[in-house]
Homo-oligomer: A and B are copies of this chain.
Amino acid sequence: MTHIIRADGRTADQLRPVTIERGWSEQAEGSALISFGKTKVLCTASFTNGVPRWLQGKGKGWVTAEYAMLPRSTNDRMDRESVKGRIGGRTHEISRLIGRSLRAVIDTKALGENTVVIDCDVLQADGGTRTAAITGAYVALADAIAWAREQKFIGKNAVPLTDSVAAVSVGIIDGAPMLDLAYVEDVRAETDMNVVVTGRGQFVEVQGTAEGAPFDRAELDSLLDLAVAGSAELAAIQRSVLQNGAPA
């Protein structure tokens, strides 16, 4: 499998260059500018005391996310959703996916009655924006929680994060499974799958879609193998970035 060379020179099981710039925003409690190749997503985490009304008085916190693309993050300019007056289905879908992925590694009791809103704004899009968003959002969330601990909004011994979480896309192109699809690959993929995996290697989300022909169990298995390996690399990068002390 690894002998196939892709348009950008990668092997089939290779991630694009990943960079995570912690503390990009001077205002957010946590933030990360993440790149998967040319895909760039600015993730900010806003920590506030209190929870939405429907959760009040239960001693639990809340984590939610919103995803959006800048109008010219893509090759052709898209209309703004604010101008159209409504949010599209794809945006809704991805916002919900990011929120669920982060909540899978949150102990809401340990978070206490606090809310973290994660904003993932795509500055430049070249495939994999939702997986980059999840991977960067985790770093922003971790920093916001560290900030809250320093501010004593969270107890000294409370551990709201039960694990890390990262995500990667995989797909089948010309019959071959590939990791971390760039845009030109994504549009050609027969099957496209986004996989969200914890730092311990367990699944949070598996979303596979046959864009062309349906896929069989063997293909599914090989895609999952690729995704698990890629996610482990991303988890290592997240760990490494977060170990470098507090963001500037």
What is the copy number of this chain in the assembly? 6
Q: Which residues from B are CB-within-8-Å of A90?
A: 96
Interface size on A, residues (CB 8 A): 63
Task: Knowing A89-B92, A123-B42, A214-B198, say if A206 contacts B207 (CB, 8 Å).
Answer: yes
- Quick one: CB contact mask for A20-43 with B, threshold 8 Å, 1 for yes? 000001111001000000100010
Task: Knowing A27-B73, A88-B92, say if A208 contacts B216 (CB, 8 Å).
Answer: no
Task: Knowing A44-B72, A71-B66, A71-B119, say if A209 contacts B216 (CB, 8 Å).
Answer: no
- Quick one: CB contact mask for A46-81 with B, threshold 8 Å, 1 for yes? 101000000000000000001010111111010011
Task: Give A225 Cβ to nearest chain B Cβ, in Å.
Answer: 9
The winner among A27, A48, A205, A228 for most chain B CB atoms within 10 A is: A27
Task: List A residues 75-124 near B (Cβ within 8 Å).
Answer: 75, 77, 80-93, 95-96, 100, 104, 117, 119, 121, 123-124
Query: Given contacts A25-B72, A202-B213, could you give 5 more A-B pairs where the C-beta distance is less than 8 Å?
Result: A66-B71, A77-B117, A82-B86, A203-B215, A220-B224
